[in-house]
Amino acid sequence: MRCPSCLSTDLKVTDSRNHIEDSSIHRRRLCLSCGHKFRTTERIENKALLVIKRDGRRESFDREKLRHGLIRALEKRDVSAESLAQAIFHIEQQAISLASSSGEINSDDLGGLTLTELKSLDPVAYVRFASVYKMFQDPNEFIEEIKELTHS
Ligand SMILES: [Zn+2]
């Protein structure tokens, strides 16, 4: 990227904001050569991201589906819309990074990313999500997980 004023590549990012709604990153940049300030918008490429289901079928990553799953898990919990949006954004970014060049991620890995995110967001939502998505093979695992949470 070059400064639109003097074409220098010596740029500094002074501010970065994630816009969840349209999957874009808005940045303010400062040209260190001439002091020109400008804004850039980068689209986050996610059109190629595919989720491999347990039965081997592939489907496009569905942000709305993820959002609904999280909202259900966070029902009546004190988590702001902003935190929710950030969590979705974060999960999606990690999924894209994990998928890397293949553009594919296992649904279990996606569930794992979601759980990790929820764990730091809200412990109750974390346990709810884990149970909804049947991450636990038997009830003891579920109990162990709750124990671990109450100790941490
Ligand atoms: Zn410049």
Full-model pTM: 0.62
**30 CA to middle of ligand 1, Å?**
8
Q: Which range, 30-39, 92-101, 129-138, has the best average confidence (pLDDT)?
A: 30-39
Quote the crossing angle between the two packed helices 107-121 and 63-73, to the nearest 10°.
40
Q: How confident is the model at residue 49 (pLDDT cuts 50, 70, 90)?
A: confident
3-state helix, strand, coil in the chain (%, to 5): 45, 20, 30
Residues flanking ion ligand 1, Cβ below 5 Å: 3, 5-6, 8, 31, 33-34, 36
**31 CA to middle of ligand 1, Å?**
5
Model pLDDT, residue 23:
67
- Sequential DSSP letters for 48-69: T-EEE-TTS-EEE--HHHHHHH
Model pLDDT, residue 44:
64
Helix H or strand E segment including 30: strand 24-31
Q: How confident is the model at residue 138 (pLDDT cuts 50, 70, 90)?
A: low
**19 CA to middle of ligand 1, Å?**
26
- Between CA 110 and CA 102 the distance in angstroms is 15
Give the rounded percent of residues in the chain with a pLDDT score beyond 90: 33
